Amino acid sequence: MRFFSIVLLIVSINLSLFATAEVVKVDERFQDSQSCKACHLRIVSEWENSWHSKSHFEKDEYFRESLKYYSRKTRKSVNAVKVECATCHNPRISVTSTDEDYEIAAVMGLDKGSEVDNAVNDTAISEGINCVVCHNIDKIHDSYDASKRGINRVKWTESGTMTGPYKDAKSPYHKVVHHAFMDKNPNKLCFVCHANDRSAKGIIFTDMESEYNRGKKKGIKNCVECHMGAKRKDVASTYKMYNGKAKIRKVRDHGFKGAHISSMWKDALKLKLSQKGSNVVVKIINPQPHNIPSGFGSREIEVNVVYKKRDKILKEQTLSLTNHYVRKRNKPTIPHLAIKKAKDMSIPAEGKKVLRVPVFEGATSVTVTLNYILVNEEVRSILKLKSDNWAKKNYITKESLGLKF
């Protein structure tokens, strides 16, 4: 009983956490993207269909099930894991870490109404990566250790101050400041989160910044050129503050197209087939400035090989380019819990991967098709994902080759 009383005393004194990153409270006027629509209708409408708008755990099955799985395997409370992942998924969260006292409270069911519980359930972060994430960053600490990401890598502006790419921008509703990472070096902004993905055991399973820096392809300078599209003439704001007119500017799309958009994959890779004796050589060429697959560690390129004799299919086989991860006792797991990963099967930035498959006897031709899958079968099974979206095959390209006997 005495121990129980001491625990209760500790919990009552300190239920939550000690902040390790800057937290700037966002004024209610700017928390909801709907408030931005009055002047930025097109931009907000594009963002609403993006995966940035779905980065909150309630809107993404893969994220939500990963949270629960991670919680079970680490024996951390779900809320503590939510706070960890909020570093990038919900960086405007009002808390940035949890402590042992909170974990005791959570196990005992005494955390309801605590600072942590209120923070993870706050409607202010329900939109995930919304306007006041990217457009409230005042400084990016790119000299920080690579393990620091998201909220731990930025300094926020005061609430009501928006950052943007235009030096002459003005608004009657909020202050506007210009920063170079909004136009001259936007990769710096992207890599605040899209960089150093590490497991709980420190295994780096994705580092898109390093992938990009190893590539540096001429002509593709910035992430935004693919994921926000080419600049076009339009208004960024419809507010008529420039001699009674809205100013026409060069703008980009805010849909942040990525791996979940099928059209992004059409011809993203190139194929070259040749026959060397009794083998078909499959050369997969990646012209992109980052590895493919990249991003979440469970993504997959499916290589489908079909042998025919004239119009008759003789044999079909499928090769998988994906990464597999294990935890204790060599059990398969999700990337975020890995203590070890298999050989990297991705195609390097501006590089290639060569596969060799034996010619099937009697075949007169072979056709190879590349498809992209968001989550490989192993991880889909571990997390028991229900949406068909994770297993959908997104067509990339295909090539055929006549075979010699």
The answer to whether 327 touches 343, Cβ cutoff 8 Å, is: no
Across the chain, mean pLDDT equals: 91
Stated as kind and residue range, the H or E segment containing 285 is strand 279-285
Residue 220's pLDDT is what?
65
Q: What is the homologous superfamily of the domain 262-402 according to CATH?
A: Immunoglobulins (2.60.40.10)
Residue 17's pLDDT is what?
38
CA gap 96, 8 in Å, rounded: 23
CA atoms within 13 A on the CB side of 368: 25
What does the DSSP 8-state code read for residue 151? G
Q: In the chain, what percentage of residues exceed pLDDT 90?
A: 80
The answer to which of 13-27, 214-228, 361-375 has the lowest mean pLDDT is: 13-27
pLDDT of 19 > 60? The answer is: no
Domain with CATH 2.60.40.10 in the chain: 262-402
Residue carrying the six token digits 């999700």? 334
pLDDT tens by residue, 359-377: 999 999 999 999 999 999 9
Report the pLDDT averaged over residues 199-216. Answer: 85
- From 160, 169, 164, 168, select the one nearest 181 (Cα to Cα): 164
The answer to whether 291 touches 211, Cβ cutoff 8 Å, is: yes
Residue 217's pLDDT is what?
64
* Residue 249: strand pairing partners: 234
Sheet holding 279-285, edge to edge: 270-276, 279-285, 352-358
pLDDT tens by residue, 226-270: 999 999 999 999 999 888 899 999 999 999 999 999 999 999 999
